[in-house]
Amino acid sequence: MSSLKVKLGILAAGLMLSGCMQATTYEATNTTNFKPRDKELLAKIRYTNVPIAEPFRRAIVEYHRKEAPGSIVVDSDNHYLYYVLNEGKAIRYGITVGEEAMAWSGIAKVGSMTEWPPWHPTKGEIERLGVPTFVAPGPDNPMGSRALYLYSGGKDTLFRIHGTNQPEYIGASISSGCIRMTNEDVIDLYNRVKLGTIVVVLEPHRGDSPYNSTLALQGGGNSLMMQ
């Protein structure tokens, strides 16, 4: 899929979502929470920091599911990640998700957290994308400013929530399976979570169904997503 088609798809999805959404409180980026290194490296980016389509901007929204406050819920179908708050509210972030063949779903925990992580591409990514075996941390690293490494059953799922150097694709399905957020949004999320935080990744194409709620309660999930 060409970049133009992806961008047009994001715009169309944004317009459709904006027509049926309830009143939303959007949140501006609070740079006072950025560390000196964050400000230094973000000032050196070479990618175009394009504005995010309004439906995918960070916002406080009503939240009807039953996950406990402090949990993360990933809705790949609608390109949203929720950080659950108290009193039926959540912070909703727009995300880039994996192509269908490389998606992962299930229940995990945040097993590790890194600021400005290096990138260690998988064997499949190296073969498919022609990338090096290691990319050092920095403002143009595809992992971005933060990474949350997700574990299930005590094992690394190879599924991450991380920043991006391609903010123009927020709202699209193009990644190698991981969840991408803008560098500013992933810093905000990182500052809210801790090791052991529960992450519920809803199964694609099942909607917000009782199956997903049951899955969350049972701690179930599918197997490894990508190689």
Q: Which residues are annotated as catalytic?
A: 162, 178
Instruction: Decide: 105 and 206 in contact? Cβ < 8 Å.
Output: no
Output the six-digit token pair for 54: 């309004």
Query: Is the torsion defined by CA of 132, 98, 163, 113 positive or negative?
Result: negative
Residue 109 CA: distances (Å) to CA of 64, 130, 156, 181, 198? 22, 30, 10, 18, 5
**Other C-beta atoms within 10 Å of 192: how many?**
12
Question: Where in the chain does DSSP place strands (E)?
Answer: 25-26, 59-62, 72-75, 80-84, 89-94, 97-98, 106-115, 146-152, 155-162, 173-175, 179-180, 198-201
| Count of other CB atoms within 10 angstroms of residue 100 | 10
Token pair recorded at residue 210: 């009782």
Cα(181)–Cα(82) distance, rounded to whole angstroms?
12
The CA-atom distances, in angstroms, between 66 and each of 86, 98, 108, 158, 207 are 11, 25, 17, 26, 15
